[in-house]
Structure formats: C-alpha cells, structure tokens
Amino acid sequence: MNKLLTFPEQLAAPPSARAKAMLFHDPRSTALLKQVERIALSDATVLVTGDTGTGKELIARHIHVQSGRTGPFIAVNCGAFCETLVDAELFGHEVGAFTGATHARSGWFEAANGGTLFLDEIGELPASLQVKLLRVLQERQVVRLGSRRPIPLDVRLVAATNVDLQQAIFHNRFRADLYYRLSVATVNMLSLRARSGDILPLARHFIETYSTRLHLEGVTLSVVAQKMLEAYDWPGNIRELENVIHYALIVCDGNVIIKDDLKLAGNMQRSPNFESHDTAEFTPTSSPQRDQSINGSATQMQHRLEALIAECIQFAQPNLFETVEKAVVHTAFAGCNQNQVQTAKVLGVTRNMLRTHLKRFGLIG
C-alpha cells in the first residue's frame, strides 16, 4: 500500500512544525492506517499521540474524511493561545463577557458542528479549561462565556499531544478523568525511524514536490545517499526529512543527490572512507554499547554541573539562579533551532511555561 496523505492545496505550505505528508509503505504503517480507518467509522473520541513531526494532524484529517461527516474539519492548536483567550476561542462569548467583547462570537466547537474538531497540543490546555472541556464532552453542549444558554453540539473530537499524559497526570498537570474521556480510541503514531520502509518513498515524494517548485527534472538519490537516509535516526521525523530533501535539491550539482548534499544533524556513524567515497559503507551509531556509554556519561555530566555551580558559589557569582536558568533556556532554545515545542520537550516543561521564560529573557516578543 502506497497511500499518500497531504494537506489541502491551500494549506500545503504554511510556516509550521507539522509533517506535510504521510506515505504508508512500511508494514507497520499500513497496519496503523487500517486501525485508523476502522476507528474513523465510529463516533468515538480519538487521542493521537506521538512525537512532533510524525503527522498527527494528517491522521486527524484522514479520520474526518473517512468518517463521512458532512461538517467542516477545524484544527486548533491549544498551545497557541494565551490562557485568558483560549476559553473564548474554544467555547465562544457573548457581548460584554469581557473587556473588548463588543459583539457575540461563536467558538471553535460551534464552528465545527456537524464535523470534526482537532485539538492539537491538548496537554497544554490550562487546568481550568480541562474541567470545562470535560463537561462539554459529557453533555454534548457548549455554553458561551457570559451566557447561561447551552448550545447542543454534534462534533467529533480528535485530540493530539506529544506529551506523556500519564506523566502529566502523575504531576497533577492533566486531569485523569479528561484523559479517559479523550482516549476512547487511541492512535499511537510511529516515529519515522520505527517505520524505515517509509523513508525512501517519502524522500522521493518530497523530491518530486520540490523539484516542481525549483524547476528541476529527473532528480534521483545516489545509492549512498539512500543508505544514509535509511540509517539516520530522524529526531525531527517527517518534517526533518522534508527539510533535508528541500535543502539537498537546492545545493545539489546536477540531478543526483549525493551524501554531501544531505544536511543531517542526528546520529550516524561513518566509516573512515565514508567522507571521501560516495559508495563507502557506514553504520548507524545506535547500539547497546553506545546506550550504556550515554547512561554512564549522564552521571559524569551531573558531577561536572554540580562542580561548576559550586565554583560559581565560591566566587560569589551574582544572581546565580537567574544566570543558570537563562543559560539553560538560551542553550536549549538555540539547540532546538528556536522550535518551542521541541525546546519544551527537551526541558521537560509545558510550552506555556517555556514561553514565559522566553519572554522574560527577551527571546520572543
């Protein structure tokens, strides 16, 4: 099966971190697709989990298409709104509900009536709104901010997260009752490295897509370039593969992409001859010995960090806590290429908490 999922043409190239295409060639992918299409035929609320860039919104859109619902598909990013606005955005408001509310407005739930509402980054939803969302799911009706009149709903809800909600429940950041209400049907998205059979078909799809935009014809991948793509660990998943192919097409000389055209920043170990010969062999770095080395070095890094902090204390470093906090946030944000979702995941905090620190240190407006 080589089924391809992409965004509608008008949404094909927005500036975002999402995967813009999914192709089901690997046996694990085809099994996932069959599961998704069975779920789509029901009215069950769906929770889609998986890393950033694995195609969660594409799966949500496919569920909507396969469900046969005649209403619209509405996608909302719960992490994109400040806490004071997300209530009105989701549930709507009446005139005078808050300062500046000069006219009544329906929320995203009402806009999706008869169709599907996709709530991305559901783990970022503030605790106060988790209670309200739970009530909406239970009663199948919504009450606008500033109103007492319930509005009946016929909405299929699909939620998505790259956060471990079980851990969020343990740390009292997510309601257990809401989790069980959302996860009637669960779709666990596979990382790209876990479905390696999709890598080259997706790469060829992106070559075709970007070749058209760049007015190129007949571009192919060298044998070594193909092996590199298959052996790479793809921490950024489909989105990263798309970016790698786009860049390779820009810099390649001729119509064959070779190893030097691939800008890969993750884990891959090359043999001594790999740098000079495009046909040389190489092996991925992932191995039990390497994993043991990483685990061992974590303790060493902790000791080094403690020693550095002790040295700062000894020399009376002013504002030590803020200095360390600023260094951690700056370094993580730069290391994640200013990607807020990935930075929050690396630091183990919510995106809203990260944005507070980024604003505090002048990294975003």
Contact present, 19 and 237 (Cβ < 8 Å): yes
Q: Residue 276 — pLDDT band, cuts 50, 70, 90?
A: very low
pLDDT digits (tens, 9 = 90+) for 11-54: 544 444 567 788 899 999 999 999 999 999 999 999 999 998 89
Q: What is the pLDDT of residue 259?
A: 92
| Residue 362 Ramachandran class (φ > 0 left, ψ -120 to 50 alpha, else beta) | left
- Domains of the chain from N-terminus onward: 3-190 (3.40.50.300), 196-283 (1.10.8.60), 318-365 (1.10.10.60)
Q: Express as a percent the part of the chain with pLDDT over 90.
A: 46
Please tell me the least confidently modeled range out of 88-92, 167-171, 217-221: 88-92
Q: Residue 88 — pLDDT band, cuts 50, 70, 90?
A: confident
How far is it, in rounded angstroms, from Cα 122 to Cα 74?
14
Q: Mean of the pLDDT values across residues 312-322?
A: 77
Burial of 322 (0-12, 13-18, 19+ CB in 10 A): exposed
In this predicted structure, the answer to whether residue 76 has a pLDDT above a threshold of 80 is yes
pLDDT digits (tens, 9 = 90+) for 120-140: 999 988 888 899 899 999 999
Q: What is the pLDDT of residue 296?
A: 54
Q: What is the pLDDT of residue 330?
A: 84
Q: What is the pLDDT of residue 176?
A: 95
